[in-house]
Chain A
């Protein structure tokens, strides 16, 4: 019995670290954007650096991914499902990069100072001051965040489908438990 090939340790650590960060960000995001309560400012102040950290990690992760091919999907998986897996992964990567960039860009266009840490360390603006662009990107941030959340739900459903229904070693390739095929 040959153990199923796994994602490398680096890939797995990045995947799980970022999974926790991104899910936290999605929950912090919807909570704060509806909130007027005592934690509002603290959450926004956490949302910015955490989002920028995701941007940096996503870029590192993409660079790493382009040099290290992932283990192949099971050969008996339907071609459409393979395509769906591939497409959704590309979209997940795209959103991990786009969402923080939109967040940063919208605050730039809104003429906001963008504190990264405390109120002394600021990010430079990446877009010129333009209130109409600010408003548009603020909506784009919501739409992309909700898309990402929907995709993550489908992704988790698919991972559990592999793990519990098909039991084909795909989930284990990411959790790192080497199970016999």
Chain B
């Protein structure tokens, strides 16, 4: 109206000028959010792919959905103290909250030793920022970057006809990603142990340790069990037998692992977790993890948080491994989705994690 009253000044060109700037910004915004690039691997797209691959959702983690909480401590050996100023490599009795889980996205899945097993840890030194770490038992990750991960999870899409992923798709994924073949083969031939307690858990991704003087050392690490290692039983037990065994073990005696750092040699790929490192790399026993209590996720201390691998203390920084970025974004999205949903009980209930002694006391 105001423009009309001023006659010729309201020319079409001027109006175009008024509209162009907001329109350009709006387009840029849509582009930045990925709405104009259907091929971009976005957080939402990955969550959709996990869902289509059978992830249950409904308040549970989008992956590693079946788990229990554990608590204990970490005692540094001091052997890694010169490589990193992180408190964890210097201090004794650092409190730890952890979670053991099966890698599958189904919270009520039947335990199977061949399923990926995981250990997640939250180190909470009294006087320094915390560190969160999430580790899996296969020795290497057959994925290189976000595109690989997206391709992989879409190849795992559940075929409604069979209720299982279509083997042809899995094969096609392998054929289209020859650079992952060595890693996939190494994992296929890994030793499968009898349970959570005698398993080795790997960081898979590489990180940089930062020393007091700023020196940077690329490492991967593994939690290596102190418990004697036994091969998986020929016959599987009941639905929750791996967890039940873990619970019984912890109630019986504290479980321990050495944190063994592997320092990257000159040939080792830092930015690609699908590359196997040389066998003669220097290793350092950085300290001992002791877990002495177990609780259900329901009401336990490990469920209301996410073990984002990029929650790092001073003294540890991310390497340029692209999978770390993917995990950080995906864990946050999974964590916000599940925290807003109504959730059923965990498979491993508070009753199941009680000490046998406590149960008999109650009865008497």
Contact = CB atoms under 8 A, between A and B. Distances in A.
B357 interface: no
B129 A113 contact: yes
Contacts of A129: 304-305
A37 interface: yes
Nearest to A33: B43
4 nearest interchain CB pairs? A135-B340, A135-B339, A131-B339, A30-B33
A30 B35 CA distance: 10
A95 to B, nearest CB: 16
11 contacts: A30-B32, A36-B329, A36-B330, A37-B325, A112-B311, A113-B129, A131-B305, A138-B340, A156-B25, A165-B3, A166-B3
A120 B336 contact: no
A142 to B, nearest CB: 10
Contact of B1 (A78, A113, A154): A78
Interface string A34-53: 11111111001000000000
Contacts of A63: none
Contact of B40 (A27, A34, A156): A34
A122 B129 contact: yes
Interface in B298-357: 303-306, 308, 310-314, 317-318, 320, 322, 324-326, 328-330, 335-340
Contacts of A130: 304
A151 to B, nearest CB: 11
A55 interface: no
A160 B16 CA distance: 10
A38 B320 contact: yes
Given A26-B29, A110-B335, A132-B340, A165 B2 contact: yes
B14 interface: yes
B22 interface: yes
A32, A39, A160 pick with most chain B CB within 10 angstroms: A160
A72 to B, nearest CB: 17
A154 B22 contact: yes
A41 B310 contact: yes
B: interface residue count bin: 35 or more
A82 to B, nearest CB: 12
Interface of B: 1-3, 6, 9-10, 14-15, 17-19, 21-22, 25-26, 28-29, 32-34, 40-44, 46, 129-130, 146, 149, 303-306, 308, 310-314, 317-318, 320, 322, 324-326, 328-330, 335-340
Nearest to A137: B336
A88 to B, nearest CB: 14
Given A139-B340, A157-B18, A166-B2, A113 B33 contact: no
A161 interface: yes
Contacts of B33: 30-31, 33-34
A118 interface: yes
Contacts of B335: 110, 131, 134
Report whether over half of chain A's contact residues are helix, strand or loop; otherwise say mixed: helix
Given A41-B318, A153-B22, A165 B44 contact: no
Nearest to A112: B311
Nearest to B26: A153
A79 interface: no
A119 interface: yes
Interface in A48-82: 76-78
A164 interface: yes
Contacts of B330: 36
A156 B22 contact: yes
Given A34-B44, A35-B43, A135-B339, A153 B25 contact: yes
Contacts of B9: 165, 167
A7 B156 CA distance: 60
A166 B22 contact: no
A130 B303 CA distance: 11
Contact of B22 (A38, A115, A157): A157
Contacts of B46: 36
A119 B329 contact: no
A93 interface: no
A145 to B, nearest CB: 10
A119 B18 contact: no
Contacts of A113: 129-130, 311
A111 B329 contact: no
B41 A166 contact: no
A35 B18 CA distance: 32
B305 A38 contact: no
A120 B129 contact: yes
A27 B18 contact: no
A124 B40 CA distance: 35
A16 interface: no
Contacts of A152: 25
